[in-house]
Structure 1
């Protein structure tokens, strides 16, 4: 039998069912793994005191034939901007250093109701607003492949916890690529769902309009599907309405491969990995064509930072004590946001509406868009971003050009690991479908699998 900490949720549950291992065995293996690698990786911000109790309760359910489903007894980690009752939710900020929620946020509640064992909370940048994982409270998270390098962000601690084999599942959030880019930097799968598909309720403030969704990082696509099915269960009529699921298209899939966004630079090794993945898709008989994205994403990209700044300004105005305790960098961002005129935010909302209309029309002609998930390979973990890509200077979001438009358009996107770089750094692509077509990305595993 493989070492327990190396197995995915599917294989762990198979062992529980066959009585070849128990959730307590798995919890002990996970705890030993964390003790061996933390704080060198620095993925965890809090170790749950309730993990063993939850594992023992799960083991009892399995013995009594009362298991709650395919996540019962499976270890999970949870990003520190998601509320877990009785555990800190720091948002990576000194302002929330002492905040302990009294109830679970809805996605967390669903995972816990399914019997998952919460190991603890994972690291993120302050207020989850940047594409690397470092903050004044806990410091920088290292990539398990090379702890000197970043995991990306903002779900960087969660990605590290799965890649370091602490747990097969990490819950996180994605407001502009915060699941998909860490997945690429750590060789993992992640699904950014359609807006409304996984309801949110009872958590910390969301600082990126309705762009941010909850989701998970996993080592296997079957685990991604299991977590999705657990968190996307139906809710009451008062909950946000998810888009309808369109009918699955008949094969072959119409796939648009977009390697470049305008003149934005791309690391050549990522380009080669992307092309190899596209070539494999073509061998499966799909109708694959290369081209540019038929959407005007540049106007929104130009104002992207203003969205977070405006929301920070609103939060600090409503909660002055939060603003007073936040790190100086984020107070400065909020001051910039407070100076934005109302007409600017209205213009941003208009750009979002136009983008969503354009995306709906685009998917009348194609089924899936495939792009790289990242433009740069992992860089030093304490740097907010690479300053050059392919020998060209880039700004703070130069590495992140491929992901934000998906959130603004409200679309589902599946992060998929591809061939690594020559030095072993991991790379990934994203498969983007029409609003509501989350299952197209999950249920066509055989057709989308990259094979040599």
Structure 2
């Protein structure tokens, strides 16, 4: 039964608990057993939450008493270790924060708990949540459950690996340029970055540059991220960027009243080469949507092709992040790993370059605004290439040698502009690694993203594949 439980999604678990066909204690024990069995190989879980089993026992008592149950009653969940959890270690991937225990939950964590979910563990981030790989001096390197020699990505790599390996059905990650969507693609799960401001960032560190940071759900099904999104979103009275809009409809399970218009692009499409296997996967997803009755056509977005979004993001975030990193690392120089060192050693961005970067974002926003007058959805790669081996200095993509940071080229534009974007698996590389596609829509159009992703999930050729670890 344990194997069955740890492959269920959060929605299914909550349904079975509500019908008294599955016990919260059984669910928690199954996931704790799974963690004990596979985490030594993955190093995705860095802290078990005290009181998880006691929480499951209380949840079981509530079921027996006939109490009203929340939509995630008794469901375990994990949280990236850059996000605060009351009474549970939150060490931010750095010896500088060794032993740090917050007194309060991040807003999104509190909201999941209020829905009945039970925190089971914290997951590994890179140092300060600032890298495309998940490793640090405090809790070490996380491995990809599809191949231990490969990275699960970053910075929510521990979260994605834990969910893909069945140690958690649902998790909370964060995203500055790729950190939800890239790890989701590398490990074959679903990661959802809603419109900037939908999810309050209260309780997340670092807070800068907050106009680009996003918090979001990660899971093995689209319906799970849709449910978590509906529970986590909305202003909290503390984060000045958090926004509201009429309703939080997820769009999942509803029928369209008109034919949705989908544009897809892969190569050319972003600033640099795209692996042919990734291109083929995006094309296959486009064909699947066409077969489902959507209006689908290949598109070009010249501004996106010509804008080095990674450089734009670096020039802007470095100016804000460096002072914060200098403050927290003062007197702790021997405890700084390579990720923070990159930020600390970077020269200041000249003001002319800073202004040019801000204007580049404006051009991207204008281009997307014009695009979404004509289309409902943009379908594109998540990453230009599948997961790579740990620690590569260069990556060869379609015959071209690029920096490993090129992995962010198809996600950074949507972080810079704050648009909703979802990553999900739709293919497999020749090396047996997941390949994802990215579903993007206009600002506040989360229902459209989730509806299209839900349809793709139904017809996905890889829907039932899981790591064999």
TM-score bracket, normalised by the shorter chain, equals over 0.9
Superposition deviation, residue 312 in structure 1? 3.1
Is 1:313 matched with 2:329?
no
Rounded Cα–Cα distance in structure 2 between residues aligned with 1:168 and 1:328: 31
Superposition deviation, residue 133 in structure 1? 1.1
Residue 330 of structure 2 aligns to a residue in which SS?
helix
Rounded Cα–Cα distance in structure 2 between residues aligned with 1:18 and 1:68: 11
Rounded Cα–Cα distance in structure 1 between residues aligned with 2:442 and 2:366: 11
Is 1:277 matched with 2:285?
yes
Superposition deviation, residue 305 in structure 1? 2.5
Match of 1:257 among 257, 264, 269: 264
After superposition, what is the alpha-carbon deviation per residue over 1:325-354, rounded to whole angstroms, capped at 9, x for unaligned? Answer: 651534543444463344543443333334
Residue 428 of structure 1 aligns to a residue in which SS?
strand
**Aligned counterpart, 1:351:** 360
**Aligned counterpart, 2:464:** none
**Aligned counterpart, 1:327:** 336
Rounded Cα–Cα distance in structure 2 between residues aligned with 1:322 and 1:7: 47
Rounded Cα–Cα distance in structure 2 between residues aligned with 1:294 and 1:243: 32
Is the CA contact (8 Å cut-off) linking 1:162 and 1:168 kept in structure 2? Answer: yes
Rounded Cα–Cα distance in structure 2 between residues aligned with 1:449 and 1:331: 37
Tell me: CA distance 1:299–1:421, structure 2 relative to 1, closer, same or farther (3 Å): closer
Superposition deviation, residue 66 in structure 1? 2.3
Rounded Cα–Cα distance in structure 2 between residues aligned with 1:322 and 1:435: 42
Tell me: CA distance 1:340–1:237, structure 2 relative to 1, closer, same or farther (3 Å): closer
Superposition deviation, residue 293 in structure 1? 2.3
Rounded Cα–Cα distance in structure 2 between residues aligned with 1:323 and 1:354: 40
Is the CA contact (8 Å cut-off) linking 2:329 and 2:336 kept in structure 1? Answer: no
Is 1:145 matched with 2:146?
yes
TM-score (norm 1): 0.92
Number of residue pairs matched by the alignment: 451
Superposition deviation, residue 399 in structure 1? 2.2
Gaps of 5+ in 1: none
After superposition, what is the alpha-carbon deviation per residue over 1:216-257, rounded to whole angstroms, capped at 9, x for unaligned? Answer: 111111111110111014544975342646999853211110
Rounded Cα–Cα distance in structure 2 between residues aligned with 1:174 and 1:318: 22
Is the CA contact (8 Å cut-off) linking 1:412 and 1:436 kept in structure 2? Answer: yes
Gaps of 5+ in 2: 462-469
Q: How does 1:153-192 map to 2 (within 5 A)?
A: 153-192=154-193
**Aligned counterpart, 1:113:** 114
Superposition deviation, residue 262 in structure 1? 4.8
Residue 40 of structure 1 aligns to a residue in which SS?
helix
Is the CA contact (8 Å cut-off) linking 1:208 and 1:311 kept in structure 2? Answer: yes
Residue 170 of structure 1 aligns to a residue in which SS?
strand
RMSD of aligned Cα (Å): 2.5
Is the CA contact (8 Å cut-off) linking 1:189 and 1:417 kept in structure 2? Answer: yes
Residue 72 of structure 1 aligns to a residue in which SS?
coil
Rounded Cα–Cα distance in structure 2 between residues aligned with 1:322 and 1:399: 33
**Aligned counterpart, 2:420:** 412
Is 1:303 matched with 2:312?
yes
Residue 63 of structure 1 aligns to a residue in which SS?
helix
Superposition deviation, residue 70 in structure 1? 1.7
Rounded Cα–Cα distance in structure 2 between residues aligned with 1:444 and 1:264: 27
Q: How does 1:217-228 map to 2 (within 5 A)?
A: 217-228=218-229
TM-score (norm 2): 0.89
**Aligned counterpart, 2:444:** 436
**Aligned counterpart, 2:388:** 379
